[in-house]
Every structure is written in structure tokens, then in C-alpha cells.
Structure 1
């Protein structure tokens, strides 16, 4: 009887051994900087033209909507002439007339396979330091656009 109790106690202790707690940290996208010369010329040109077309709306008040070969459905649905004209009114007042885009950096997000084009938007008022980020998916379609104040270092947010 003592042997049975001893064996059961050992089995219970073995079954109750401490389990390792695995800490799962949030995934940080793996983004790598690409050399400008390593990026396909046609893709760079396409990103430039799509970004410039959107910002030129502020000068001309006319926007040629993106089509299915240029952008994803979410971009097409979210960028409308009405929304752009509202934003453009604010931009023209604060930054002046849009001049051009200057490609500064290109990044590749290895998690979602997007190519991120980081442009400095040039305006007539020299205090205007704006950034335009264009996200191109693996099908070379515009999947997202983001504008923000310019900072010299890339922030992955």
C-alpha cells in the first residue's frame, strides 16, 4: 500500500511540474531600407506620379480618380475629390502652393510585402515641411497613403 501511495505521489508531482510561461511580444514589422538605385525605375515613377497627382489636386482643384490597376479598392473609395478639396484648403492656407515631391527613402516591409516610398513634399512656403508616404503592395498597387510633418529619421508608425 505504501508503495502505491508513493508511486501515485511521484506521478502527481511529475504532472504538476512548473510550466514555462512564454512571453509573446507584439510583432514589430521587419522593415529594411533599400538603396534608391536598387528600386525598379517603373515602380518609383508610378509611386511618384500617383502621389503627385493627389497633391496637384490642391493646385488645380481637379482630381483624376485612381483606377483598379493603380490602387486598391480601399484607396479608391477613401480618396475622393470632396475629401481632397477639404484637405487641400487647409494645406494651401498653411503651406502655400504645392511644387513637387522629392524621393528621400524607400523601405521594404518584409511582413506584408509592401514597398514604402518616403517623399518630402515641397511647397512655396518654406516653413512647410511635409512628408508623403506611399505604400505599394506586392501587386505594385497603391495600398495606402499617409501624410505627416517631416522628420529626418524614419519612424515605422
Structure 2
């Protein structure tokens, strides 16, 4: 029985996925600025309430199908919980190119009310299109969003 438990423990530890961080110095300033501008633009629309349908030239097909009412609802939840968006700071980029063909940009975000630290996570595909954006409570250790 002890051997079985030990074997299960070893299997669990060996199967733990680690995610490779990309050194921020290895990412071009233009790519960093592109991702930052996209995230800030999306979050700024929560302030102005002037939602614009996302173009398939800029985002993947799935993100382009996001309706304006879905964007409105997400902003309502964000505003109620955190207040208005102020700014965000890039903390790390996670390399997920081998599995999903994306880089995951993680920002710490600043809002009017900072009851807890917020994360803005943006997915950028290898082809330069944005595949997703979410905001949630910050965790120091990267945990994939499912």
C-alpha cells in the first residue's frame, strides 16, 4: 500500500506542468506596445461605454464573435467590483507557443478600488492576432485559465 501511494505521489509530481516564462527583454517593444494598447483600449471602453465590434483582422474568429452585449455585461461586472480602470503594468509573459501557439501577457492592473490586486491576461497568437482577454484576481504563480 505504501509503495502504491509513493508511486502515485511520484506520478503526480512528475506530471505537474511547468510554464516557461519569456524574458521581457526578448520581446520587441513594438509587440509589448501592441498588446498593451489592445488591453488598454478594451478596458477603456468600459469607461466610455463606446463599444466597437472587434475586427477579424486584429483578433481570432472566436474573439471577433464577442457581442456588444457580452462586452457590456463584462464591463458592468468589472465596474461594479473594481471601479474604473486606471492603468496596467506588464509583469510576465508565459510561453504557450508549443501547445496553443500563443504568448500569454500578464499585467497587474490598477483600478479605482483595489480591494485586491487584479490581473489582466491577454493571449497573442503567433500570427499576431489576439485570442483572448480576461481580468481576475492576481495570483503570483501562473495558473492556466480554463
* TM-score of the superposed pair, with normalisation by structure 2: 0.79
Relative distance call for 1:41 and 1:132 in structure 2 (3 A) is: same
Matches within 5 A, 1:109-128: 109=96, 110-128=98-116
Find the partner of 1:97 among 64, 80, 84. 84
Q: Give the match's secondary structure for 1:126.
A: coil
2: CA distance, partners of 1:102 / 1:142: 18
> Structure 2: which 5+ residue stretches go unaligned?
1-11
1:11 aligned partner: none
2: CA distance, partners of 1:154 / 1:31: 8
Quote the offset at 1:69 in angstroms: 2.2
> Structure 1: which 5+ residue stretches go unaligned?
1-24
For the aligned residues, what is the CA RMSD?
2.0
Instruction: Describe the superposition over 1:18-77 as per-residue Cα deviations: whole angstroms up to 9, x where unpaired.
Output: xxxxxxx9x876631011111122221111111111111111001233222211111010
2: CA distance, partners of 1:29 / 1:74: 26
Find the partner of 1:88 among 66, 75, 91. 75
* TM-score of the superposed pair, with normalisation by structure 1: 0.74
Aligned residues: 131
Q: Give the match's secondary structure for 2:63.
A: helix
1: CA distance, partners of 2:38 / 2:16: 28
1:43 aligned partner: 31
8 Å CA contact 1:53–1:63 kept in 2: the answer is no
Instruction: Describe the superposition over 1:130-155 as per-residue Cα deviations: whole angstroms up to 9, x where unpaired.
Output: 21111111101101223221112211
1: CA distance, partners of 2:136 / 2:82: 13
